[in-house]
Amino acid sequence: MKFKGGKPNLKPGKKVPVALKLVAPDAQQIDQVRVSVEDMRRMRANEGDFANLSDARWWTGGLASANVVLGAPHEEAGVVYVNEDLLKQEN
């Protein structure tokens, strides 16, 4: 079975609250975000998996969100690296 050209990840994981850290537009591909190795483990996610990044503040009602691809993990737990251009594109 393939999903969007790749093998689907059917392992159930946890939602992980993270803080946003903007990175320069050239630092990564626009549709990718990077989370820590530990957060990837908690989500049971792999590099290249689809994820939904959303603002947890109740007054946004989940409307401030982006569908993204998980890039290579980093070592800063609890932080998601987001390309500045992605943030502009999705808002």
Q: Where are the alpha helices (DSSP H) in 1-91?
A: 37-43, 84-90
pLDDT of residue 40: 96
Q: What is the CA radius of gyration of the chain?
A: 13
The answer to whether 60 and 24 are in contact (CB under 8 A) is: no
Which residue, among 13, 89, 73, has the nearest Cα to 81 in the 3D structure? 73
Q: Strand 19-23 relative to strand 32-34: parallel, antiparallel, unpaired? A: unpaired
pLDDT of residue 2: 47
Encode the chain (91 residues) as per-residue pLDDT tens digits.
445 666 788 888 999 999 999 988 765 577 789 999 999 999 999 999 988 888 888 777 777 788 888 999 999 999 999 888 877 775 5
Residue count of the chain, please give it: 91
